[in-house]
Amino acid sequence: MRPPDVWAALRSSPWRLLASSWPWRALAYLASGALVGLVVAVLLFVLVGVGLLTLVVLVGLLVLAGIPLLAALVADVERVRLRLVLPEAGSGKAAPSERIAWSDRFRALRRLRISGPEVGYTVLVATVLWLVDAVALNLLITLPGVLVLAPVLVRIDAPVAFGPWQLTTPSEAWIAVAPGLVLLIAGLYAATLLAAAQASLARLLLEPAQTRLTAAVADLRRSRVDLVDAFETERSRIERDLHDGAQQRLVALTMTLGLAELEVPEGAGLDLVRQAHAQAETALAELRATVRGIHPRVLVDHGLTAAVRELAGAAGLPVSVDLRVDRRLPAPVEAAAYFVVAEALTNAVRHAGARSARVQGQVTADRLEVVVRDDGAGGATVRPGGGLAGLATRLAALDGLLEVTSPPGGPTEVRMTCPIALP
Amino acid sequence: MPDRAPLRIVLAEDAALLREGLLAILERAGHEVIAAVGDADALLAFTDHTRPDVVITDIRMPPTHTDEGLRAAAELRRRHRDLAVLVLSAYVADAYLAELLDTAGGGGIGYLLKDRVGHVRDFLDSLDQVAGGETVVDPEVVRGLLDRQRPDGPLDVLSEREREVLALMAEGRTNGSIATALFVSEAAVRKHVGNIFAKLRLDPTTDRRVSAVLAYLREA
């Protein structure tokens, strides 16, 4: 797998870096930087020169106004070049809204819509950067390159000279290869570092702030989903612990008490055993309800439809279920939908005094929609700290929505929609 | 309990605590537990090898702890059509029930909650019924199914009373037991049962009592 950008590559081991394509991308970046910089330097020189010279006849003003246009052009080229070393750069989703169309730029010339950072970067490219790139390429690559290639150069009668040293014979030339190789490797490394630093500078100046914000929001959204996911994982761990621990001990206890009932003779003793048995069963029933409230096993094993059917069966009022979800959805989405139904049915029984309820749901396009209606007294609200509010928050993290319509006198309708693909 | 015919049983339950409890109850009743195993593979191997009268299995078993026991039970029914299978579940979940009933060709299927085992006599009665080829479903599961009748389902043709009778039939009760539970005469129950069979247009050549129960349960 290729590291996502040149910085990640630099952080990995030196050998992996050298074996990868990053050094060559870096060289291409530097070389194109030197070339572009030279062209820009000439253009800028001409623009500024001609502009200043003709300023007295006012035409110069128009010429100088071309500088922002040149800067925009340089910035666009640079954004393309950036992808050599920072593939993510320039692919920000907000780019279209931030990018200024060329026709708009011309139209806006009157108002001289100058992007400060773009002009600054252009001046930098034309003055410092291209020189740095050219010198670096020569020092870091050409010199070691000549050393490495010395045997070939000597053979084709091109004398190689480094200051006082003259390499004329093949044996002398071969001696130069080893230090040449070491220098070449060091040079590649340094060139990659330089390209990375330059690209980051360019990105800082040229990438619109909105792109960076968009990336941050995407990160934030991902981390929120991760949080919901972690929450879900934790719940199912608690469920498993309870199921494998306390619940089984209680079942074993009821078995033992059941056996004891057969052994103990009729009388006060047997009455006590029966009482204990009944208490153990009550505890077991309560524990089972708790476990179901934490994270229902059926949801994990059989998915949303089966789990909602089970909920309906245990709701304590007749509930008709018409749920058309025939595939598995991401676990946080299934869990959110399940708990919405659970909460709505609980409210229907406990607060609205409903006589029946209806659960409907389906997946349309890329969204899950679930509606729970009851014929109760209505008046349900999403109170802060209440069950529905918690579910609304949970759904918001998944980019979903919870709506409650519950006029006094009823009926109450709880509707949730949620994208079935996680952000 | 000398009145019970001893059954040869293979028991599959991964929790040692419950396996021991079940073992104690079955052995006290005079049944012979040929093997008590902790996973589905062992269950399949032992059952093929020893041909027991009844298999009792937990739904969740290693390695994934989802529905291995249930799938093993279905596989065993495919291999041995007349093998009686009693499935134990820790949950009131009919999602598992539908899967189980799909394998119910020859009858002899049971689906009980683990708590039911604590009512030792009832549990042993259910076990005998399953071994005798009847279908037994936990009363609590049946109650759940009854609570959410679809208004337009195929059982809509039944009257309230007929539905009650059907629910009790699903629990594996006899006509006499149903009569006692509903405070009516056994003749009245027979009449209801006849009406249910007629209204559901069940094939008289099959075990209509089982078919009725299956129709009832599948509808949910």
Give A288: exposed, middle or buried? Use CB within 10 Å, 0-12, 13-18, 19+.
Answer: buried
* Chain B touched by A375 (CB under 8 Å): no
CATH 3.90.420.10 holds for B8-147: no
Are the CB atoms for A168 and A161 separated by under 8 Å? Answer: no
Asked whether the beta carbons of residue B66 and residue A257 sit closer than 8 angstroms, the reply is no
Per-residue pLDDT tens over the stretch A331-349: 889 999 999 999 999 888 8
Residues of A in contact with B94 (CB under 8 A): 309-310, 313
* Chain B touched by A306 (CB under 8 Å): yes
C-alpha to C-alpha distance for B114 and B14, rounded to whole angstroms:
13
What would be the CATH architecture of the domain defined by B160-219?
Orthogonal Bundle (1.10)
What are the structural domains, with CATH classification, of chain A? 6-207 (no CATH), 211-293 (no CATH), 297-419 (3.30.565.10)
Q: Count the helices and strands in chain B (H runs, E runs).
A: 11, 6
CA B203 to chain A, closest CA, distance in angstroms equals 29
In this predicted structure, the answer to whether residue B107 has a pLDDT above a threshold of 70 is no
Q: Which residue of A280, A298, A314 is in closest CB contact with B95?
A: A298
How, if at all, do strands B84-89 and B109-113 pair? parallel
Asked whether the beta carbons of residue A251 and residue B92 sit closer than 8 angstroms, the reply is no
The mean of the pLDDT values for chain B is 80
In this predicted structure, the answer to whether residue B211 has a pLDDT above a threshold of 80 is no
Asked whether the beta carbons of residue A259 and residue B92 sit closer than 8 angstroms, the reply is no
Residues of A in contact with B117 (CB under 8 A): 251, 254-255, 258
Per-residue pLDDT tens over the stretch A134-150: 888 888 777 788 777 77
pLDDT for A1 equals 43
pLDDT for A93 equals 37
Residues of B in contact with A284 (CB under 8 A): 115
% pLDDT > 90, chain B = 22
Across A232-318, the runs of DSSP E, i.e. the strands, are none
Asked whether the beta carbons of residue A251 and residue B93 sit closer than 8 angstroms, the reply is no
Asked whether the beta carbons of residue B93 and residue A297 sit closer than 8 angstroms, the reply is yes
Point out the least confidently predicted range of A294-298, A326-330, A402-406, B91-95. Answer: B91-95
pLDDT for B157 equals 75
Q: Nearest Cα to A400, choosing from A358, A369, A363, A364?
A: A369
Per-residue pLDDT tens over the stretch B5-38: 899 999 999 889 899 999 999 999 999 999 999 9
Residues of B in contact with A262 (CB under 8 A): 28, 120-121
pLDDT for A259 equals 92
- The residue ranges of every structural domain in chain B are 8-147, 160-219
Asked whether the beta carbons of residue B25 and residue A313 sit closer than 8 angstroms, the reply is no
Q: Nearest Cα to B116, choosing from B107, B125, B103?
A: B125
% pLDDT > 90, chain A = 16
Q: Which of B91, B149, B152 to mutate to test the interface with A (most CBs of A within 10 A)?
A: B91
Q: Which residue of A247, A277, A320 is in closest CB contact with B150?
A: A320
Q: Which residue of B17, B91, B150 is in closest CB contact with A297?
A: B91
| Whole-prediction pTM | 0.58
**Size of chain A in residues:** 423
C-alpha to C-alpha distance for B64 and B82, rounded to whole angstroms:
28
Asked whether the beta carbons of residue B66 and residue A300 sit closer than 8 angstroms, the reply is yes
Per-residue pLDDT tens over the stretch B67-77: 788 888 888 88
Per-residue pLDDT tens over the stretch A35-83: 888 888 888 888 888 888 887 777 777 777 777 778 878 888 888 888 8
Are the CB atoms for A419 and A366 separated by under 8 Å? Answer: yes
In this predicted structure, the answer to whether residue A18 has a pLDDT above a threshold of 70 is yes
